Amino acid sequence: MVLHSSRKQFLKWSVIEMLDMEIIDIHCHFDHGAVGESAKRNELHKADLAFLKKERERLGIKKTFMSSFSSVCSTERIYEENEYLFEKMQKATWLYQWVVLDPREKRLFSQVESLLKKDKIVGIKIHPELHKYEILDYADEIFAFANEHKTTVLMHPPATIVKTAAVADKYPDMNLIIAHLGVMEHIDAIANAKHGNVYTDTSGQASYKNNILEYAVEKVGSEKIFFGTDTYSCAFQVGRILLAGISKKDKENILRNNAIKFFIK
C-alpha cells in the first residue's frame, strides 16, 4: 500500500516523533490484592504494578501519578494504602503519588499534611462517589485545606460538577482537576473558573467520544487538560491524543508539558 505523502508525513509526525517524547500519566490506579479492590478485575483488565510498568515502558510513559484502587474504591484502609504507596514509590522512579483523602476521617488530614512535604507527592485525590459522601457538604473544607497548602485536588467528577467547581472560586491558591473529561460540564467549569484554577484530565473511557478532546481544546485551551489513563489501556489513551485533530503543541501540552509545569520540580 502506498500512503499519500502528506498522510505519511502526518503519521510520522503524529506517532513516530511523538512516541519519542516523554509522556506523563497524571491519573492511574493499581491493584495489589488489598481490601476493596474490584472483584471484577481479571486478566482482561490487569492492574498490578508490574503489568502497568511494562505497558508504560512500551509506550514511553515515563511517569505515572497513582493512588491505589483499594484507597479510592473503599474507605476501609485509606490511611494504610497511602502509606503502602509511599513506601513503594521510594524504589520506583516512575511512580508519583496522590494522597487519598476522605474528609470524614480526620487523621487523614494530618497524614496528607506530612506527606505533602515529601518528594513526588503531587496532591490530594478525592472520590466522593465511591467513598459515598455529598461533595458539596465537604468541598469548602477540602478546598480550604488544599488552599492553605497550595496544592492540587484531583476529584472524581460528581453529578454537580459546575456547582462544585464554583467553590474553588473562593480558594485561588489551590488547583482543582476534575477527572475524566467526558461531559459539557467539565468544559463549562473550566471556562467559569474565576481564578483559572480548574482543570481536567483525559483519563477514563469518555475520550472515545469523537469530538470531545478537539472541542475542549478549542473552548478552553490545551493548557487546561492533563493526560491520564485511569488504568484503561494506555495504547488507546495515548493513541487518542496522538491522532487527535489538534496541533502538535496542544498534544505536547496534554501529554507532557502541563504536567511538568505543574508537578515536576
CA distance 202 to 182: 8
In the range 100-159, which residues lie near Zn ion by CB under 5 A? none
For Zn ion, give the closer residue by CB, 129 or 230.
230
C-alpha cell of 37?
Answer: 479492590
Residue positions counted in the chain: 265
Which residue is listed with cell 476529584? 155
CB of 179 to Zn ion, least distance (A): 6
Separation of CA 97 from chain center: 11
The least CB distance from residue 26 to Zn ion, in Å, is: 10
Q: What sign does the dihedral 122-69-139-156 (CA atoms) show?
A: positive
Structure-block grid coordinates of residue 90: 521510594
Q: What is the largest CA-CA distance in the chain?
A: 63
> Residue 15 or 183: which CB sits closer to Zn ion?
183
Q: Provide, rounded to whole angstroms, the least separation between the CB of residue 231 and Zn ion.
A: 8
DSSP conformation class of 44? G
Q: Cβ of residue 6: shortest distance to Zn ion, in angstroms?
A: 39
Give whichever of 73 and 174 is closer to Zn ion, judged by the CB atom: 73
CB of 93 to Zn ion, least distance (A): 22
Cβ 117 to Zn ion shortest distance, Å: 24
Query: Looking at residue 254, what DSSP letter applies?
Result: I
Nearer to Zn ion (CB atom), residue 73 or residue 220: 73
223 vs 230, beta carbon nearer Zn ion: 230
CB nearer to Zn ion: pick between 25 and 250: 25
- The residue number whose beta carbon is nearest to Zn ion equals 230
Which of the residues 203 through 242 are near Zn ion (CB under 5 A)?
230
By C-alpha distance, which of 26, 29, 6, 9 is closest to 17?
Answer: 9
Residue 18 or 29: the one with the smaller Cβ distance to Zn ion is 29
C-alpha cell at 221: 485551551
Of 254, 213, 203, 240, the closest CA to residue 28 belongs to 203
Report the candidate in 69, 79, 66 with the shortest Cα–Cα distance to residue 33. Answer: 69
Q: Which residue has the cell 457538604?
A: 137
Nearer to Zn ion, 72 or 220 (CB): 72
Q: C-beta of 51: minimal distance to Zn ion in Å?
A: 17
CA–CA dist 18, 61 (Å, integer): 11
What nine digits make up the cell of 45?
483488565
Query: How far apart (Å, rounded) are the C-alpha atoms in residues 65 and 28?
Result: 6
- Site size for Zn ion (CB under 5 A): 1
| Grid coordinates of 174 | 489551590
Least distance between Zn ion and beta carbon 120 (Å): 18
Residue ranges binding Zn ion (CB under 5 A): 230
